[in-house]
Structure formats: structure tokens, C-alpha cells
Amino acid sequence: SQQGEEDPQALSIQEGENATMNCSYKTSINNLQWYRQNSGRGLVHLILIRSNEREKHSGRLRVTLDTSKKSSSLLITASRAADTASYFCATDTNTGKLIFGQGTTLQVKP
């Protein structure tokens, strides 16, 4: 069964706008990771946030984690056409086994 559930399933925005994706999970975690996937190719690691962290930034990315609500959000600011991709959250319960959600498909229109 899926641990993570992303919301929304699909998102379409204009270039320059911000994109927010949410992820909810079911069990306690060691860390949560966000990945990007272009056109069914390999996954690109974006950011890892540990269970004792609440917020993390990397360039135009901002990730938050609320362990009490078992949820995380990924914010992409000032989006670009090149950000068009599928985004997945994945949780790790310290077994090294990543459990992925269904993903959010983001389309950024030029």
C-alpha cells in the first residue's frame, strides 16, 4: 500500500507563479524526501528533510514537515517551464526502503 499521498494529482500554472504540492503519510518516519521525474525517466533527488526538522530550503525549493499531522509540502517559487515534471514524496522509516506516493504532475506554461 502507498505510504504517501500527494495532492493535487495535477497542477497547471504560469511561468513565474509559485507551485505548492502536499504529501501525507501514515506511519512514523526517519526522513522524507522529494524527487522529480521528467517524462518517465530516472528520479532526481531534490531535498531530504529529517523527522526532527520542520523546514528546509534549497534554491527555489522550500520543504516543510509537520510530523504531528504526518504531512509535508514542497513549494517551488518563481516556477520555470523547465520545472514541468512529476514530483514524488518518499518516506523512509529508517529501513532504507523508500515508500513513494502517486506523485503530482506539474505543468508550467511559458
Partner 1 sequence: ETGVTQSPTHLIKTRGQQVTLRCSSQSGHNTVSWYQQALGQGPQFIFQYYREEENGRGNFPPRFSGLQFPNYSSELNVNALELDDSALYLCASSLDLAGGPDTQYFGPGTRLTVL
Residue ranges binding partner 1 (CB under 8 A): 2, 4, 30, 33, 35, 40-45, 48, 88, 90, 92, 94-103
What's the closest the beta carbon of residue 45 comes to partner 1, in angstroms?
A: 6
**What is the 3-class SS of the chain, one letter each residue?**
CCCCEEECCEEEEECCCCEEEEEECCCCCCEEEEEEECCCCCEEEEEEEECCCCEEEECCEEEEEECCCCEEEEEECCCCHHHCEEEEEEEECCCCCEEECCCEEEEEEC
Q: Is the Cβ of residue 68 or residue 95 nearer to partner 1 in the bound state?
A: 95
Q: Is the Cβ of residue 70 or residue 101 nearer to partner 1 in the bound state?
A: 101
What's the closest the beta carbon of residue 75 comes to partner 1, in angstroms?
A: 20
